[in-house]
A and B are shown apart, each in its own frame.
Chain A
Amino acid sequence: MDLENQARIKELHDKYGSEDLIVVLGGAEAEASGLAAETVATGDPTFAGPLSGVPLGLKAYHIFELKEEVPAEVYEEQISMMEMVLDVDEIINEVKTYRQ
């Protein structure tokens, strides 16, 4: 996960806390999306950025997981085509692992 973005997420966490703040991902594949979810939950596993060893405990969802939360017509317009392009199941299975 981008190092600058790690710093921003840390700031936002300090401001809003882990109850109110949710991270929503748009990653193209499972591993990178999982990595981002892991980074904001338990810390940067690559030990490259500001979240190394910093478990913020934030919950991250891929936008594919939030389909039911979004008005159908908006989801259709913004996201639905990518369901045919990316591996939805693999991405969801990977991302949800880090919310246990």
Chain B
Amino acid sequence: MLKGKKIAILGDRDGIPGPAIEECVKAAQAEVVFSTTECFV
């Protein structure tokens, strides 16, 4: 499902941060086109 897809990542500082999700989706052979980490505090 992820392979070959373009991925926009909305990470969360207090959940899973963007770079950790990046590692996962890249390993699943998807292309990260945007990655950010939100912060509510």
Contact = CB atoms under 8 A, between A and B. Distances in A.
Interface of A: 1-2, 5, 8-9, 12, 16, 20-29, 32-33, 36, 63, 66, 69-71, 74-75, 77-79, 82, 86
Nearest to B16: A26
Given A26-B20, A66-B28, A70-B27, A12 B34 contact: yes
Interface of B: 1-2, 5-12, 14-18, 20-21, 23-25, 27-28, 30, 33-34, 36-38
Contacts of A8: 8, 34, 36
A74 B33 contact: no
Contacts of A66: 1-2, 24-25, 28
Contacts, number: 100
Contact of A27 (B5, B6, B15): B15
Contact of A5 (B1, B5, B24, B36): B36
Given A1-B10, A63-B20, A79-B24, 11 more contacts: A1-B38, A5-B36, A8-B36, A12-B33, A21-B7, A21-B8, A24-B25, A25-B10, A27-B12, A63-B21, A74-B23
A29 B40 CA distance: 12
